[in-house]
């Protein structure tokens, strides 16, 4: 036991203070809380600390579980350090579970906590309240239901072990593969007297390294390859990973594919070595495929490269939370990805000049063709601008206009579109680290994730792109409340086609000559009955724009971005043609 000025029964000497002390030790800058009645001890501890000038994480009072977890996710995408998330009992955990699962898929560390009762009022001392007996408890405890969508889940069964349990949860969540850890902290533990023992502050995880004996053979494979290709989904999520991948690809002159499953900016889309989003052209021609932080490179999973050897560069290549994963690996490099890429870049020596030149020329031709196709698509989209009476805007024009407005502003795009996601990636052409993130794990979290990103990057413009269907899944009112309460202005651009397009496309694909195709009765897809979506922001005093024609687009986005720069969230609802 360590010495402490805190004594049992003294002000601040209960489980609430133990928990706040533990989050201090973890180095959490924020507690993202969707309030529940169990957190009164934490609120009291924070009030005492604020009164007495003692350190504490900044507390954010949020009105929906998805907002709390989503903001922690967005903040963690940039800061890459575990924060605290407080939810309410089992129901609050269930409400926030999609967002917690999204954090797991995105590789964002956090410590999520909620509570239960263990005495149901039948023990002496503090009465937890009858709601636990009647309504809130769940068989097996909330830590049981959290296990499938968290990296680690457990119960803190004693106030004396609570601080070090938080430490353990934070350390586990921070290490590869990073993700949320969950703690069930019974209300009785939070109310129990604490003897003041504190957790030791945690430090950043140490890094793993692939040995020269492992790296050298891979360098030899690259040297001997005629047509290698890099495929990556999340190299940019690693600290320094974006820059390391760029240096590696340039040193060896290898094209880089970011498949549709890429979840962040990994490589500059403006770079001649960027090879688009389709691995298909390499499936029969590549003789070496380098999977760099790429969980699911081939679809269907049985779609095996015809002749390429496969090298997997990933600190944890076999992700335990991925249900079915097929990599066809011939060799693994399981050290820290950034370090491994740097080692491989340094080994780019004695290259066959003619082979490299041929490879570079082929990729430059592909890149030029792609840029020409992008330009043609944008010219075609712009061709409708100014056409009198034209209703709806080509989504290509929306993305291209956003790119021009964000040029030179160091912006960040958070994307929750579905049928327009390829358009957004292709025409925004992000080219910097931490400039693009795709929301993971299910629709309805994106506004909160964008707010969390803004919290971590207050001086950078943050744009959230979303379809009308995905927008309707979001807790919009609660997200707007958080934006206004905590001064987090973002630009929300809705690609509104008035339909659940992906659902409709699947219906048409599965039943091309079915009854719906014959009668026109397409169920589960029509969104025409929704009001125009910018209107939901009006009660919050936010800037709103509704765009129905191409010529109105650029001025509306310019006004909206100006409003965001001035400190107000702006919502632009754009009617799109497809």
| pTM over cut 0.85 | yes
Are 292 and 210 spatial neighbours (Cβ–Cβ below 8 Å)?
A: no
Region 416-443: mean pLDDT is: 96
Are 442 and 106 spatial neighbours (Cβ–Cβ below 8 Å)?
A: no
Evaluate if residue 529 carries a pLDDT over 70.
Answer: yes
Query: What's the pLDDT score for residue 383?
Result: 85
Region 331-354: mean pLDDT is: 95
Q: What's the chain's length in residues?
A: 578
What sign for the dihedral angle of Cα 502, 505, 511, 517?
positive
Q: Is the peptide bond before 300 cis (omega within 30 degrees of 0)?
A: yes
Query: Torsion-angle region of residue 11: left (phi > 0), alpha (psi -120 to 50) or beta?
Result: beta
Are 258 and 426 spatial neighbours (Cβ–Cβ below 8 Å)?
A: no
Banded model confidence at residue 11, pLDDT cuts 50, 70, 90: very low
Which helix H or strand E contains 290, and what residues bound it?
strand 288-292
- From the list 295, 299, 286, the residue with the least C-alpha distance to 337 is 295
Banded model confidence at residue 294, pLDDT cuts 50, 70, 90: very high
Cα(84)–Cα(80) distance, rounded to whole angstroms? 13
Evaluate if residue 100 carries a pLDDT over 70.
Answer: yes
Evaluate if residue 390 carries a pLDDT over 80.
Answer: no
What sign for the dihedral angle of Cα 273, 279, 280, 283?
positive
pLDDT tens-place string over residues 315-342: 999 999 999 999 999 999 999 999 999 9
> pLDDT averaged over the chain?
94
Query: What's the pLDDT score for residue 387?
Result: 55
Region 297-318: mean pLDDT is: 95
| Upper half-sphere CA count for residue 381 (Cβ side, 13 Å) | 22
pLDDT tens-place string over residues 24-54: 999 999 999 998 989 999 999 999 999 999 9
Cα(12)–Cα(14) distance, rounded to whole angstroms? 6
Banded model confidence at residue 524, pLDDT cuts 50, 70, 90: confident
pLDDT tens-place string over residues 172-184: 999 999 999 999 9
Cα(551)–Cα(531) distance, rounded to whole angstroms? 22
Evaluate if residue 3 carries a pLDDT over 50.
Answer: no
| Upper half-sphere CA count for residue 261 (Cβ side, 13 Å) | 14
Torsion of CA 340, 342, 348, 349, to 10 degrees: -110
For residue 458, report the phi and psi dihedrals to the nearest 5 degrees: -65, -20
């Amino acid at each position: 036991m360590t010495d402490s000025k805190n004594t049992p029964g003294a002000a601040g000497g209960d489980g609430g203070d133990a928990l706040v002390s533990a989050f201090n030790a973890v180095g959490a800058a924020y507690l993202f809380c969707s309030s529940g009645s169990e957190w009164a001890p934490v609120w009291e501890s924070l009030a005492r600390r604020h009164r007495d000038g003692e350190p504490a994480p900044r507390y954010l009072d949020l009105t929906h579980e998805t907002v709390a977890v989503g903001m922690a996710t967005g903040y963690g995408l940039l800061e890459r350090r575990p924060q605290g998330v407080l939810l309410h009992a089992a129901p609050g955990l269930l409400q926030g579970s999609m967002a917690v699962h999204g954090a797991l898929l995105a590789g964002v560390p956090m410590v999520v906590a909620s509570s239960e009762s263990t005495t149901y009022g039948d023990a002496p001392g503090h009465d937890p309240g009858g709601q636990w007996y009647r309504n809130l408890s769940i068989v097996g405890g909330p830590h049981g239901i959290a296990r499938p969508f968290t990296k680690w889940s457990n119960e803190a069964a004693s106030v004396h072990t609570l601080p070090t349990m938080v430490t353990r949860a934070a350390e586990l969540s921070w290490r590869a593969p990073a993700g949320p850890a969950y703690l069930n902290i019974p209300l009785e533990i939070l109310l129990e007297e604490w003897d003041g023992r504190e957790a030791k502050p945690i430090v950043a995880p140490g890094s793993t390294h692939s040995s020269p004996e492992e790296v050298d053979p891979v360098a030899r494979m690259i040297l001997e390859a005629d047509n290698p290709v890099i495929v990556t989904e999340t190299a940019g999520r690693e600290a320094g990973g974006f820059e390391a991948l760029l240096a590696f690809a340039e040193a060896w002159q290898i094209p880089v594919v970011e498949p549709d499953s890429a979840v962040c900016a990994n490589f500059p889309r403006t770079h001649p070595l960027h090879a688009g989003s389709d691995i298909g052209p390499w499936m029969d021609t590549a003789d070496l495929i380098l999977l760099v932080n790429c969980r699911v490179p081939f679809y269907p999973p049985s779609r095996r490269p015809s002749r390429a050897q496969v090298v997997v560069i990933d600190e944890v290549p076999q992700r335990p939370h991925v249900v079915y994963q097929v990599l066809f690996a011939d060799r693994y490099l399981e050290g820290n990805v950034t370090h491994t890429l740097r080692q491989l870049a340094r080994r780019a020596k004695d290259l066959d000049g003619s082979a490299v030149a041929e490879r570079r020329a082929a990729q430059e031709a592909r890149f030029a063709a792609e840029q020409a196709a992008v330009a043609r698509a944008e010219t075609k989209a712009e061709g409708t601008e100014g056409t009198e009476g034209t209703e709806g805007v080509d989504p290509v024009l929306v993305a291209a206009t956003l790119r021009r407005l964000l040029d030179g502003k160091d912006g960040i795009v958070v994307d929750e579109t579905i049928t327009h996601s390829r358009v957004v990636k292709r025409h925004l052409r992000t080219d910097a680290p931490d400039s693009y993130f795709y929301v993971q794990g299910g629709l309805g979290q994106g506004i909160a994730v964008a707010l969390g990103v803004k919290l971590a990057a207050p001086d950078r413009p943050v744009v959230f792109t979303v379809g009308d269907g995905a927008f309707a899944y979001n807790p919009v009112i609660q997200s707007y409340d958080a934006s206004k309460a905590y001064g987090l202005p973002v630009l929300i651009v809705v690609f509104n086609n008035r339909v659940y397009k992906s659902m409709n496309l699947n219906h048409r694909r599965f039943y091309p000559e079915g009854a719906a195709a014959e009668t026109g009765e397409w169920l589960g897809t029509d969104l025409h009955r929704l009001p125009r979506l910018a209107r939901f922001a009006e009660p919050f005093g936010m800037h709103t724009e509704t765009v129905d024609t191409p010529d109105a687009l650029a001025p509306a986005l310019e006004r909206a971005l100006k409003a965001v720069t001035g400190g107000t969230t702006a919502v632009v609802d754009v009617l799109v043609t497809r």
